[in-house]
Amino acid sequence: MTKPTRRQFLKRSSLAAAGLMTGTRILNPGRLRAGEVSGRPPNIIFILADDLGYGDVGCYGQKVIQTPHLDQMASEGIRFTQCYAGSTVCAPSRCCLMTGLHTGHARIRGNKLHPLLPEDTTIAEVLKNAGYTTGIVGKWGLGEPDTTGIPNRQGFDYWFGFLNQSRAHNYYPDYVWKNTERFFFDRWTYTHTAFTQEALDFVRRSHGQPFFLYLAYTIPHAFNEGGVNGMPIPSDQPYSDQPWPQNEKNRAAMITLMDADIGRLFTLLKELGLDENTIVFFSSDNGPHREGGTNPDFFDSNGPLRGIKRDLYEGGIRVPMIVRWPGHLPAGAVSDQVWAFWDFPATAAELAGTRLPNPGDGISMVDALFQRPQQNHEYLYWEFHEQGGKQAIRMGKWKAVRLGWKPPVELYDLETDLGETTDIAAHHPDLIEKMGTLFRQARTENSFYPIPT
């Protein structure tokens, strides 16, 4: 056996100290109360769309694109109006979701191909060591083949999908990964359909014990290769007869197809008797794109928000978040709780009856799920390393944005100016000074993602 490095040893020691290396669950370690979880801990499913905007779902205001199953999910669960992605592009956003660290501390802060390392702890590893079967289907983006960052080396028992986010832009690829081996397709296979089937199969074979499924869909991301008949989707139904540009029909059809397949997942949970013992989260990795010939204004994909993918304005990072757990969480609730992807690991760990070996930047949102007074962040922080560099902070109602690594800093009052239309920095020099300090203090240095001094 290979001797572990010092960092690996320290990581294993911290897991053991948290009760995570033996499969022992720590019952009710936090705010869960008697009756909220009975018997075995809940199955946990996190469904992540790719480049789905805040305004692309009916329950968030979409008027044209049909999303009946997501709308029903919201009517049977909680719709959060102030949840934030980890970043404004895919890889760092997913890193925050898996590790509980924001982009000032996360290892992966951009779409460069840097893998997670052995000392990084993912929520999959924590849940696996707490007795969960863990699986991921879809898009990973946190480690290339034969690196320490592949899902099977980061806590997942089963893996099926794209390691590389660039390859994920082709919906008819020649292969994807199944665990550590290539799984080859014929040219007629549409990956989204394959991903849905793999997710359903994982639930069927794992339902005898608690499981965690990370279903990271690749749609409605823009596409590099059209595939069959030049289309990024087998059919543009139910929008074929609409007088829209073809690219807009395709994007709308992808969203409605994803919605239908999420409906299939809920149907299966009911058939297997798992519906009331499974908590399901749904969100998107960042805001809508202006790629592949589509225009986010066509369907008002960012709703009332300013900005899109690659912006740190609200439209680039505020995302849909729906959480459903019948018989446990209130139905039809709407919450304005402010939280972010890096809160998911702490939340999932507490739901599972365990805890994280290191809390990172996250806070468990269990109280918010059960509609109780919730501990809040002092602030949320993002940094983005494209387009000259950007930083943003949300602190209470205040939102600060810096374009480039030097002043000026823009300031917005989100309570009165959700669309971030009026920069009021000149009227609040004290806040601007504080935000400038936080821009420096909220991050650690990362050689791959430096900020010039």
Q: Which of 158, 163, 162 is nearest to 135 (CA)?
A: 158
Q: Are residues 306 and 398 in the same domain?
A: no
**Residue 326 in domain:** yes
- Give this prediction's pTM: 0.93
Q: Cβ distance 152 to 136 under 8 Å?
A: no
- Pairing mode of beta strands 181-184, 211-216: unpaired
**Last residue of one domain, picked from the residues 325, 346, 379:** 379
Q: Are residues 396 and 333 in the same domain?
A: no
**Residue 193 in domain:** yes
Q: Are residues 163 and 85 in the same domain?
A: yes
Q: Are residues 275 and 416 in the same domain?
A: no
pLDDT at res. 165: 85
**Residue 15 in domain:** no
Q: Are residues 392 and 375 in the same domain?
A: no
Ranges of the chain with pLDDT below 70: 1-38, 224-230
Q: Are residues 213 and 356 in the same domain?
A: yes
**Last residue of one domain, picked from the residues 333, 354, 379:** 379
**Cβ neighbours of residue 198 under 8 Å, at least 6 residues apart?**
137, 160
pLDDT at res. 214: 99
Helices (H), 272-411: 314-317, 344-351, 366-369
**Residue 352 in domain:** yes
pLDDT at res. 225: 60
46-102 tens-digit pLDDT = 999 999 999 999 999 999 999 999 999 999 999 999 999 999 999 999 999 999 999
Q: Are residues 416 and 305 in the same domain?
A: no
Q: Cβ distance 65 to 255 under 8 Å?
A: yes
pLDDT at res. 9: 39
Q: Are residues 280 and 402 in the same domain?
A: no
pLDDT at res. 161: 98
261-305 tens-digit pLDDT = 999 999 999 999 999 999 999 999 999 999 988 999 999 999 999
pLDDT at res. 185: 92
Q: Are residues 316 and 400 in the same domain?
A: no
Helices (H), 18-122: 68-75, 90-99
| Number of domains the chain is built from | 2
pLDDT at res. 421: 98
Q: Which of 194, 200, 205 is nearest to 161 (CA)?
A: 194
Range of 394's domain? 388-441
Q: Are residues 186 and 258 in the same domain?
A: yes
**Last residue of one domain, picked from the residues 356, 379, 402:** 379
Q: Are residues 144 and 214 in the same domain?
A: yes
Task: Return the C-alpha torsion angle 195, 216, 237, 270, nearest 10.
Answer: 70
Q: What is the CATH classification number for the domain harbouring 122? A: 3.40.720.10
Q: Are residues 288 and 417 in the same domain?
A: no
**Residue 36 in domain:** no
**Residue 120 in domain:** yes
**Residue 3 in domain:** no
Q: Which amino acid is at 286?
A: N
Q: What is the CATH classification number for the domain harbouring 399? A: 3.30.1120.10
pLDDT at res. 5: 46
**Residue 20 in domain:** no
